[in-house]
Amino acid sequence: MTVTVRFAPSPTGRIHIGNARTALFNWLFAVNNKGRFIQRFDDTDIARSKQEFADSILYDLHWLGVFPDVTEYQSRRVEIYDAAVERLKAARVLYACYETPEELDLRRKVRRTRGQPPVYGREALTLTPEQVAEYESDGRRPHWRFLLPNFTSDPLQPERTEVHWNDLVRGEETVDLASLSDPVLLREDGTYLYTLPSVVDDIEMGVTHVIRGDDHVTNTGVQIALFQALGAEPPVFGHHNLLTTVSGEGLSKRTGALSIESLRGDGIEPMAVASLAVLVGTSENVTAAHDLSELARHFDPAATSKSAAKFDPDELFVLNRTLMHHMPFEEARDRLIVLGISGDKAESFWLAVRGNLDRLSDAVAWWRILSDGPQEAAEFSGEDRDFLHQAFDLLPEEPWNGTVWKDWTGKIREATGRKGKPLFMPLRLALTGRSSGPELADLLPLMGREGTLARRP
C-alpha cells in the first residue's frame, strides 16, 4: 500500500513555523517512504476560511520545498460527508440534540457541583417525540452528536472504554471514551465541524498515516471510533509536540506571529526554517540541513520529545548564517542578479562576502561598499591619517596576483613598523568604512588599484 499522508490546515490565516513543522513531518515521512502527500484544506468553517489564505499556504509550502501531489478542499466535498451522515444515522449512532449553549453550560456547572465529570449526559436520547415536536415548532433546529461506543447496552450508563493505538511519535496511547462528551459532528445550521469530514476524507483519500500536533490526541480516540463506525480500518497516527514561544505561549495562525511570510520577509532561508521546524524538540541536534532530502535523513518521528518544544527565533539567524557561509555561487547567482549584483566579479564577490552575511540581502551593502566606496567616511586621528598616506603610497602596481594584500601589508609593516590591529584597523576603516567584515585580502582585488586609491583619506 502506498504510504499516503496529508497536511490539513484550515485556511484561516498565514501558516507559522509550528504549522510548517506538521507539514514537514508529513512531507519528510512521505519522502522516506516514497509516499504521496495530499494538501487538504479543512475549510468547512466558511465564515473564517478564505481562498487567499489557502493560496498563501500553498505558496509558503512551495517556498519550503513541499510540493503536494494533490490539493483538496473540504468545502467542495460536502455531498460525501452527507452520505456518511446518512450511514451514521442509519446505524443509530448519530442523534439529534436541541440544547442551547446556555443550557449546556448550566448542565456542566450542575455536574461539576455534584462532582461528576463535565461531559454531556446524553439527555437528548431521552426526549419524547412530543418534546422533539415542541422544539421543532419553537423553531429550534437540531445539532447532531456521535454516540461514542462506551456502553454495553444502555447509553445512559457509560463504562470505561479504552481506545488504544501505537503512536508513531508517542508510542502506546490510550483514550477512555467514557471520559468524553459525544462530539457534535453537525451544527444546527447544517455545517460540519472538523471531526467527521476529516475521518471521511482520510478514508476516501486512502490516508495511511495521520501526523499532526499533539493537541489532537483526544480527538484521535473519538476519530478511531468514527473510522470503525464507518466500517474502515483507522490509519496509523502520530502526534508531534507543539512549538511554543520562549515564554511558553502557543503560536496562532490568527496573530501572524512567526508566520512563514514574516520569516521570509526577514530574509530567513527556507532551509533554516525547515531545519529548525523539524529538529527542535527532538533528540537530534539542530543543524542547518542543505535541502529537504538531507533533512529527511535526520528525520525520525520517534525521536520527537513528548513535551512542548520552545522555539527561539534567534536560532533561525544562527542557522541562516551557516547556510549563507556555505552557499555555493550557483545557488546564489539568480538571487544576486535580482539584487543588482552581477557581472564578472559577482562570483569572487560572493565567495568573499558570504561568510559575513546574516542574510543574503546583506550582500547589497557590501556590493555598494566595493563599487561606490564606504557609505560613511571614517574619522581618523592625525597619526592614523599619516600612516594611511604612507600606506597608500606603497600600494603595488597592477597587474595584481593572489598575494597582493600580503605583499602590500608586508611593505607597510617594513616602512612604518606597525603590525597587528594598529596596522589593519585603519586600513579596514579606510577601505570599507566598517570595523569588521570580509577578509581584506579577498576584497582588495575586487576594488582594483584605482578603486583602492580612491579610498585614500
Q: Which residues bind ligand GLU (CB under 6 A)?
A: 8-10, 42, 194, 198, 210, 212, 216
With beta carbons less than 8 A apart as the criterion, state whether 175 and 214 touch: no
Q: How far is the CB of 220 from ligand GLU (least distance, A)?
A: 9
Considering the complex, what minimum distance in angstroms separates the CB of residue 434 from ligand GLU? 46
What is residue 10's three-state secondary structure?
coil
Residue 291 burial class via C-beta count within 10 angstroms: exposed 0-12, middle 13-18, buried 19 and up: exposed
Q: How far is the CB of 192 from ligand GLU (least distance, A)?
A: 12
Shortest distance, CB of residue 187 to ligand GLU, whole angstroms?
16
Q: Which is nearer to ligand GLU, 13 or 121 (CB)?
A: 13
CB of 8 to ligand GLU, least distance (A): 4
- Residue among 144 and 194 whose Cβ is closer to ligand GLU: 194
Q: Does the bond joining 118 to the residue before it have cis omega, within 30 degrees of 0?
A: no
Query: Using an 8 Å Cβ cutoff, are 407 and 394 in contact?
Result: no
What is d(CA 31, CA 34) in angstroms, rounded to the nearest whole number? Answer: 5
DSSP 16: B
- Other Cβ atoms closer than 10 A to 50: 14
In the complex with ligand GLU, the residue whose CB is nearer, 100 or 252, is 252
Between 222 and 395, name the residue whose CB sits nearer to ligand GLU.
222
- Residue type (1 letter), 296: A
Terminal alpha carbon distance of the chain: 73
Residue 36 main-chain phi, psi, to 5 deg: -105, 150
Q: Residue 18 or 142: which CB sits closer to ligand GLU?
A: 18
Tell the smallest beta-carbon distance from residue 307 to ligand GLU (Å): 19
Question: Nearest to residue 212, comparing CAs of 248, 236, 244?
Answer: 236
Cell numbers for 409, please give them: 601589508
Distance CA 84, CA 229 (A): 10
Q: Which is nearer to ligand GLU, 9 or 121 (CB)?
A: 9
Least Å from the CB of residue 4 to ligand GLU: 13
Instruction: Give the Å distances, CA to CA, from 257 to 57, 244, 397.
Output: 15, 11, 55
CB of 215 to ligand GLU, least distance (A): 7
Minimum CB separation from ligand GLU for residue 240, in Å?
11
Distance CA 211, CA 168 (A): 8
CA dihedral (345, 349, 351, 357) in degrees, to 10, reads: -150
Rounded to a whole number of angstroms, the minimum distance from the CB of residue 42 to ligand GLU is 4
Shortest spacing between CB 26 and ligand GLU, in angstroms: 9
Between 9 and 438, CB nearer to ligand GLU:
9
Quote the CA–CA distance of 19 and 41 in Å, as a whole number. Answer: 13
Residue among 216 and 345 whose Cβ is closer to ligand GLU = 216
What single string gives the DSSP state of each residue in 48-112? T--HHHHHHHHHHHHHHT---SEEEEGGG-HHHHHHHHHHHHHTT-EEEE---HHHHHHHHHHHH
Q: Return the DSSP state at 214.
A: G
Looking at the Cβ atoms of 16 and 145, the one nearer to ligand GLU is 16
In the bound state with ligand GLU, the residue whose beta carbon lies nearer, of 21 and 212, is: 212
The secondary element (H helix, E strand) that includes residue 450 is helix 440-453
Nearer to ligand GLU, 121 or 197 (CB): 197
Burial class (CB in 10 A: 0-12, 13-18, 19+), 66: buried
